[in-house]
Homo-oligomer: A and B are copies of this chain.
Amino acid sequence: MTAAPTVSQEGPLALICGGGSLPLAVADFVAKRGRKVLLFPLRGFANPADFSGRAPEWVGLGQFGKFYGAAQVSGCRDVVLIGSMVRPSLRQIWPDLRTVMAMPRIIAAFRGGDDHLLSGVGRLLEEYGFRLVGAHEVAPEILVPEGTLGRFAPPEREDIAVGLDYLRATGRFDVGQAVVVAKRHVLAVEAIEGTDEMLARVMQLRANGRIRAPAGAGVLVKAPKPGQDRRFDLPSIGPQTVEGAGRAGLAGIAVIAGSTIMAQPEQLVQAADRAKIFVVGVPAEPSR
């Protein structure tokens, strides 16, 4: 996965945008390659202010018909789903006619975990003739490369190895993709609360004297689940991840090179240098 991927370039691209700044970064990288991008920000997830002057086509989570019509008319075949999507409650779904037809499949998709939901949406798109592609396939600039980002390097690799080992052991459960490890001890495991909230918990545990490892020790380790569909669910890090790790008193962050998305790479590196923490992309199969 760390070799330069082939960049998909066929026809205009439909970008369904969740929250955060990553969707727009992807849009800009794709546009820079000369490919036309249609923006479909998701109501309730994307921030309207970010899309001013970009001619977005806002869609609700259940408005598959609206998306379908606009994407078809523009000749889009490739679709990217990108951005943060905190699990919606069923109340947030406002179905239109075409969605109602597809409803049993959507409801089935909502029953399982995140992977289940997203792969359900992916299958639905494909049944309607679209091709779901990963954001990193159209904008490989967003992938964390192998090696150290920023000025600081990992002081030792053992905590990283323990974290990767834990994530491998739990990969078959549809659960979080991150752990915090310090001095070979797992301090926190992410499930549905998300990485930022897990880091806030570690900060709190440290403030309460519940963490014995000194500040400046410990690593946030993130990895994709084995076998997860990389087209829409790669782990990601951004400046706020770095800041959260800094506040939690960690030494740094380790992610899988070529399989992790970085939102705002420049700000991420700046934040890491400012917080004096390392950010490293490790090979998918670490040599032990």
Contacts and interface: CB of A to CB of B under 8 A. Distances in A.
Q: Interface size bucket, A side?
A: 35 or more
B188 A192 contact: yes
A172 B166 CA distance: 9
Contacts of A169: 169-170, 172-173
A92 B191 CA distance: 32
Contacts of A191: 179-180, 186-189
B113 A185 contact: yes
A112 B185 contact: yes
A54 interface: no
Interface stretch (A73-81, A95-103, A208-216): A208-216
Contacts of A180: 191
A151 interface: no
Contacts of A43: none
A201 B197 CA distance: 10
A174 B166 contact: no
A169 B167 CA distance: 11
A32 interface: no
Given A166-B170, A183-B111, A87 B189 contact: no
Contacts of A193: 188, 201, 205, 210
Contacts of A183: 111-112
A86 interface: yes
Contacts of A212: 87, 89-90, 110-111
Contact of A186 (B175, B187, B209): B175
Contacts of A192: 185-188, 205, 210-211
A184 interface: yes
A191 B210 CA distance: 11
A240 B172 CA distance: 32
5 contacts: A113-B185, A169-B169, A175-B186, A186-B192, A193-B205
Closest 10 CB pairs of A and B: A189-B189, A175-B186, A89-B209, A188-B191, A113-B185, A189-B191, A169-B169, A187-B192, A173-B186, A186-B191
Interface of A: 86-87, 89-90, 110-113, 162, 165-166, 169-170, 172-176, 179-180, 183-193, 201, 205, 209-212
Given A169-B170, A175-B189, A186-B192, 8 more contacts: A111-B183, A113-B185, A170-B170, A173-B186, A174-B186, A175-B186, A187-B192, A192-B205
